[in-house]
Amino acid sequence: MKPRRLRDQLEPALAHLPPGPIAVAFSGGVDSSVLLHALAGMPAARERGLRCFHVDHALHDDSAIWAEHCRRVAEACEVPFTLLRVEVERGVGLGPEAAARRARHRALQDQLAPGEILAFAHHRDDQAETVLLKLLRGAGPEGLAAMRDARPFGDGFAWRPLLSLPRSALRAYAEYHGLRWVQDPSNGDTLIDRNYLRLDVLPRLRKRWPEADASIAQSASWVRAAADFVDAEVGKALAILQGLDPATLRFRDWLALPDALRDPVLRRWLRDIGLTEPTQHQVGELVRQLAEAGEDKLPCVRWPGTELRRYRELVYARRPLEMVPVDWEHRWHGEVFALPAGLGTLALVDDAGLATSPLADTVRVRFRRGGESLRLHEGAHHRDLRDLFQEAGLPPWERARLPLVVDDRGDLLAVADLWTSDAGAALFASHGCRLAWARAH
């Protein structure tokens, strides 16, 4: 491909970018070598500020040689070069390729300045491979839409200006300019799924359907439009379904959503509150339990890092609960101390929130054992703790996790910082303090 034809692809894409400097993700392979060379020859790219990153995964004996090659190429192009060395995690539930990609992306995100644009050299053949991989893995619309031309990435953006060009066009450009590039032998390993598709499957498809890559890419663009529409509807639906506590969702309304929205709404909700996403099987089990469990039941579906529980009209999402020690008890003078099971800290504080002098007599802190009651006001009847919990709508799994303060006779003085008995109020007032429970996140 001659320079003018490649610039015809890059110049409009560059003109439509938001303001910001450009960095090239430079592996040293033919594709990124072409992208770096082409951008380095464009004044509009240089005027923004142009640099490149090379990530050394240290997974091959020649990786240091490849890094030095990339440094020399960048120097010849008069583009600032940064070498990023990463350690690829093992045993994290990912294959070698995925683990390397995650390490690479983390390193690149850490380097990007706010608003900086990171250019990747993915092309149309890569897009076709990605669509087929996602299809074979049972992906939904977002996955089948494959790679976007541009998307948020760290504090900046990821930009893929070559997605409309075939690999052959980039190879022709490299040969026309006499570029030299790194040959990674792992690209020939057909035990890697992407390489198998590239070397064995797609050539057969192209032989039967010569326009296979273009057709797959066109389908991906149609799916992208549909996925963007679904994503917008997901945002609207989630705004309606989410409870006052962001970690809650109105389950009946969620079940009533169309199939196209139910799963993505669940996943967006969990991502937004920092929890892990379920498998399709786990989503199906959640739907079944929510639809079939009676009103007196408390269905719970859990997977690593997350559990969803239903109470009344809401589904609650949280990290799995640590069990409270049976018969745990602590003698206490009111000092700040850490509760077991990651339940935060308890302390007596003054009106300014500062720790106060200790109680003259010790009290005890423990958890619920059943049958507790307290009198909220002098002359009032004792109230069962169970009734107070129900009136407050406190989910059952949280009730046993509230710290209870009792005196030496076992009479209840306070339930965390939610309720205080008349005796507890008198005790704390005599010391000019109140109970403060700092909940753990």
The tens digit of pLDDT for each residue in 191-200 reads 888 999 999 9
Round to whole Å and give the CA distance between 87 and 56.
Answer: 9
> Where in the chain are all domains bearing CATH 1.20.59.20?
242-318
pLDDT the model gives residue 99: 84
The mean pLDDT value of the chain amounts to 91
Q: What percent of the chain has pLDDT over 70?
A: 98
Residue-wise pLDDT for 57-84, tens only, equals 888 888 999 999 999 999 999 999 999 9
Q: How many residues does the chain have?
A: 441
pTM over 0.85: no
pLDDT of residue 357 exceeding 80: no
Confidence of residue 356 (pLDDT cuts 50, 70, 90): confident
pLDDT at 402: 93
Cross-strand partners of 70: none
The 10s digit of each residue's pLDDT in 166-187 is: 999 999 999 999 999 998 888 8
Q: What is the mean pLDDT of residues 409-438?
A: 91
Residue 93: what pLDDT?
57
The tens digit of pLDDT for each residue in 279-294 reads 989 999 999 999 999 8
At the topology level of CATH, where does 242-318 sit? Chorismate Mutase Domain, subunit A (1.20.59)
pLDDT at 91: 58
User: How many of the other CB atoms lie within 10 Å of CB of 348?
Assistant: 24
Determine the pLDDT at residue 165. 92
Residue 378 confidence (pLDDT): 77
Rounded mean pLDDT, 227-246: 94
Smallest CA-to-CA distance from 122 within 207, 234, 217, 252 is with 217
pLDDT band at 97 (very low <50, low <70, confident <90, very high): confident
At residue 230 the predicted structure's pLDDT band, cuts being 50, 70 and 90, is very high
Question: Which residues make up the CATH 3.40.50.620 domain(s) of the chain?
Answer: 3-222
Kindly state which CATH superfamily the domain 3-222 is placed in: HUPs (3.40.50.620)
Residue 124 burial (10 A CB sphere; 0-12, 13-18, 19+): buried
Task: Please tell me the predicted confidence (pLDDT) of residue 360.
Answer: 73
User: Of 126, 121, 201, 107, whose CA–CA distance to 161 is shortest?
Assistant: 121
Task: Give the span between the Cα atoms of 282 and 270, in whole angstroms.
Answer: 14
